[in-house]
Amino acid sequence: MNFQTGSAFASECDRSDHLASFRDRFFIPVTSDGKEVIYFTGNSLGLQPRRTGEYVQTELADWARYAVDGHLNARNPWLSYHELLTEPMARIIGANASETVMMNSLTVNLHLMLVSFYRPDGKRRKIVIEKGAFPSDRYAIESQIKCRGLDPNECLIEVNPRSGENNIRHEDIESVIGTHNDEIALVMFGGVNYYTGQAFDIARITKAAHAVGAFAGFDLAHSAGNIDLYLSDSDADFAVWCSYKYLNGGPGGIGGVFVHSRHSESFDICRFAGWWGHDKKTRFLMKPEFKPLKGAEGWQISNPPILQMAALRASLEIFDDAGMHSLRQKSLRLTGYLEFLINGIADERIEIITPSNPQERGCQLSIRVKNADRSLFHEITRRGVFTDWREPDVIRVAPVPLYNSYNDVYQFAEILRESLAKM
Ligand SMILES: *Cc1c(COP(=O)(O)O)cnc(C)c1O
């Protein structure tokens, strides 16, 4: 990609960006002097679509008007409301609708998937994960190992980056899987690591896991709405994600689950059941026998939060209008531009630890700050830039193609340069 220094280049990119107008469909926070902030924390909490309020208000109004009858008679009947999310969500993750369901929240869904896909049996009882996985994932996995009466010290295997390297090599993942071989029950990776921004090859890891007879699961918290996903084709057994990061579903937003179609009628495996996973046609006969739905919906437990789903609908509509593939194309260029400008600063106090290969990352770049000096982070924050500090020494910066501009990136790089010069 060809990039140039100077603000004229950023303006030219914004003028020729056919996705530029999508920014107007979001509320952009403003500083105390009324200037729009540079919002680079869509990887933590996505911005609010302007139409979210309208979607939520519709359900509040129908609740006021119809009360319990809203389950059947609301404009969008609540009984089947989650189905409105299924197809748009399936398009974003590259799955069939029957493999996709929105329910609960991320870590809860991870537990439910571990109940079904972590099935220790004899010596096959290990779980392989990435070193530096999101803490919640690690807690969930460790607790599941303990709940089966097993020892995490023996059963939890982490794949490390090589010494002196920041990212994990796929050949090392394959070699760890090969070494532990038929002792592995499950391989569980992030789609994009929240800290380094490294994107893992889901199909490749799945292939290695399946070759030794293990299941493969993925946490897509930092992938869904960020990179192109082909979950069905990748053959992964399951995936979980949240909707409040790149998917702009709002704080505490509803989570998502993918279960590959080959498991759609695996009714004999261990599942935690609840009435929402029961056959829709007979659910309200309230019979004691549990008759699970086919596909991912069969893992539902509770009736889901309508207001959160309404909020997410407003955002998924925007994704459909923009198209995930087009967003990714812009994202590759936007983040490439950010990398180009940061590298141009050439200051030894900062280092990008995210892979430089665009295919091995999403929109986020993680900047390691020498000596863990937080004053740089405080200074750019003071200048109206939203990034975040992750212990021990990283600033995460995520330009989101839906609402960030090339000018945002240019301004940020200038602020970064000036802040470093001041330090
Ligand atoms: C954000 C994130 C979570 C958060 O979990 P919740 O259950 O939604 O609170 C978990 N795992 C990963 C990888 C994340 O990035």
Structure token digits, residue 251: 């704080």
Q: Ligand 1: which of 43, 104, 112, 134 to mutate, most ligand atoms within 8 Å of CB?
A: 134
Cβ-Cβ contacts under 8 Å for 215 (sequence gap 6 or more): 117, 118, 185, 186, 187, 209, 237, 238
Q: How confident is the model at residue 173 (pLDDT cuts 50, 70, 90)?
A: very high
Distance (Å) from CA 156 to ligand 1 centroid: 19
Mean pLDDT of 225-247: 98
The verdict on the CB of residue 219 being under 6 Å from ligand 1 is yes
pLDDT, residue 345, reads 96
The DSSP result for 54-84, as a single string, is: HHHHHHHHHHHHHGGGHHHHSSS-GGGTTHH
Mean pLDDT of 150-163: 98
**Model confidence at 325: pLDDT above 90:** yes
Percent of the chain with pLDDT over 90: 97
pLDDT, residue 86, reads 98
Taken in order of first residue, the domains within the chain and their CATH numbers are: 7-36+324-422 (3.90.1150.10), 57-319 (3.40.640.10)
Q: Is 362 helix (H, G, I), strand (E, B) or coil?
A: coil
d(CA 43, CA 396) in angstroms, rounded, equals 9
**Model confidence at 16: pLDDT above 90:** yes
The verdict on the CB of residue 107 being under 6 Å from ligand 1 is yes
Q: How confident is the model at residue 395 (pLDDT cuts 50, 70, 90)?
A: very high
The 10s digit of each residue's pLDDT in 34-86 is: 999 999 999 999 999 999 999 999 999 999 999 999 999 999 999 999 999 99
Mean pLDDT of 249-253: 98
The 10s digit of each residue's pLDDT in 398-419 is: 999 999 999 999 999 999 999 9
Q: Would you say 110 and 143 are in contact if contact means Cβ atoms under 8 Å apart?
A: no
**Model confidence at 1: pLDDT above 80:** no
The residues with which 190 forms a beta bridge, in sequence order, are 219
d(CA 127, CA 383) in angstroms, rounded, equals 44
Question: Whose CA is closest to 209, among 240, 170, 242, 241?
Answer: 170
The 10s digit of each residue's pLDDT in 288-305 is: 999 999 999 999 999 999
Q: Ligand 1: which of 110, 194, 200, 227 to mutate, most ligand atoms within 8 Å of CB?
A: 194
Distance (Å) from CA 418 to ligand 1 centroid: 34
**Model confidence at 176: pLDDT above 90:** yes
pLDDT, residue 372, reads 86
Q: How confident is the model at residue 271 (pLDDT cuts 50, 70, 90)?
A: very high
d(CA 220, CA 257) in angstroms, rounded, equals 10
Judging by DSSP bridges, how do beta strands 256-259 and 350-352 pair with one another?
A: unpaired
pLDDT, residue 423, reads 87
Distance (Å) from CA 221 to ligand 1 centroid: 6
Q: Closest residue (by CA) to atom 15 of ligand 1?
A: 221
The verdict on the CB of residue 222 being under 6 Å from ligand 1 is yes
Percent of the chain with pLDDT over 70: 100
For the question of whether the overall pTM of this predicted structure is more than 0.75, the answer is yes
pLDDT, residue 234, reads 98
